[in-house]
Structure 1
Amino acid sequence: MQLEKIISISGKPGLFTLVTQLRSGFIVEDISTGKKASISNSSQVSLLDNIAIYTFDKEVPLFEVFKNVAEKYNYEQTIAHKSSENELRAFMTSVLPDYDTDRVYPSDIKKLVQWYNLLQKAGIINKDAFVKAEEEATVTDAEVVEETKAEKKPTAKKAAPKTEKTVAPKAKASSAAKSSVKSTQRKQG
């Protein structure tokens, strides 16, 4: 699942896909309706790929939480985001047992549930979405290792021949320049 192009825009309901960038902002597409709209650079935007849920030990990326939800609910819709606080907390405990109950608020869980259901309804969450992403991550990790190995290989550097520096003598100011300075000083005084 590619969350790096899916965003949430403050003040606008739903989720959007980034289509293209403009000078003054972005063109986005609503994942539910498919309608395109433009947003300005001043809009508050959150990339789903950059969001994580607090646990007592670490922060778990939203991708992993969505994967847990999808596996628990067999890639189908979950509870409604308008469920009671107790139902939302029970849901969260079932998909991420060690989530930080003090730092993850019911409003955060509502967003999580709403976003998951929107992505599932749009066909973005399915069994293939999580498998492909894991394979891409593995390939990317392997590429990083190869690049790191290539960077560590010693390269032979040839020493540049030494050249002597020549210093040009300072030029004396011409008599014409001196006289123009004196005439300027007389006019000011």
Structure 2
Amino acid sequence: MNLHGIVAVSGKPGLWKALAQNKTGFILESLDDNKTKLVANLSTAKLAALDEITIFGEDEDIKLKDIFERMNSAKSIPDPKADGNTLRVFFREVAPDHDEEKVYASDMKKVVSWYNLLKDLPLFTEEPKSAEASAEEPVSETVAETSAEETKPKARKAPAKTAKKK
């Protein structure tokens, strides 16, 4: 599961994919059917990357990615609008060691709704690129084929001096 580049924006519903970065923030595209574009200003908007989100656990925090993987193998997923007790029972199944005092019903609703948005996307089944795999990729052929002669700066001709007429 590759959640790299997927963010949640405070004050905006749904999930967004980071397309590019500019001086003041990020250019985002919604993951819903509308494909709405948004420029998120870093001074006013708060972005949360899904690959970095964790849920409070009793011993240690649980990565959202791990919860999504367990949800993927679960028999049935409750509706995000279900009551808190139904969601709590479901969360005991997919995240048995979550801290029940710190994880609220609103958090569980958000996780279930995010899962429903992501489960049908191709990136959900895609493996993330690791740092080792990207280091092993071959250098682009066009870069590798440039010779030292091509990289030397070209000599400039000195401007011709004009003789002054008296």
Matched residue, 1:90: 89
Distance 1:4 1:107, change over 3 A: same
After TM superposition, what 4+ stretches of structure 1 lie above 3 angstroms from structure 2?
A: 121-124
Deviations 1:36-72 (A, max 9, x none): 2211112111111111112211111111110010111
Which residue does 1:152 correspond to in 2?
A: none
For 1:123-162, list aligned pairs within 5 A.
123-125=122-124, 128-129=125-126, 132-133=127-128, 136=129, 140=132
Q: Is the 8 A contact 2:18 2:26 kept in 1?
A: yes
In the comparison of the two structures, how many residue pairs are matched?
A: 132
Coordinate RMSD, CA, aligned: 2.0
Which runs of structure 2 are paired with 1:51-130 in the superposition (5 Å)?
A: 51-73=53-75, 78-125=77-124, 128-129=125-126
**In the superposition, relative to structure 1, how do residues 10 and 65 fare at CA in structure 2: closer, same or farther (>3 Å)?**
same
Give 2:42's aligned residue: 41
The match for 2:146 is none
Instruction: State TM-score, norm by structure 2.
Output: 0.72
Greater relative contact order (Cα 8 A, min sep 6): structure 1 or 2? 2
Instruction: Determine whether 1:6 maps to 2:11.
Output: no
Q: Partners of 1:53 and 1:37 in 2: how far apart? A: 27
Q: In structure 2, how many angstroms separate the alpha carbons of the residues matched to 1:140 and 1:84? A: 44
User: Which structure: larger Rg?
Assistant: 1
Q: Which amino acid aligns with 1:34?
A: K
Percent pairwise identity: 33
Match of residue 179 from structure 1 = none
Counterparts of 2:111 and 2:123, CA distance in 1: 15
- Normalised by the length of structure 1, the TM-score is 0.64
**Cα offset for 1:123?**
4.2
Distance 2:23 2:36 in 1: 21
Q: Which runs of 5+ in 1 are unaligned?
A: 144-189
Counterparts of 1:8-27 in structure 2, within 5 Å, are: 8-27=8-27
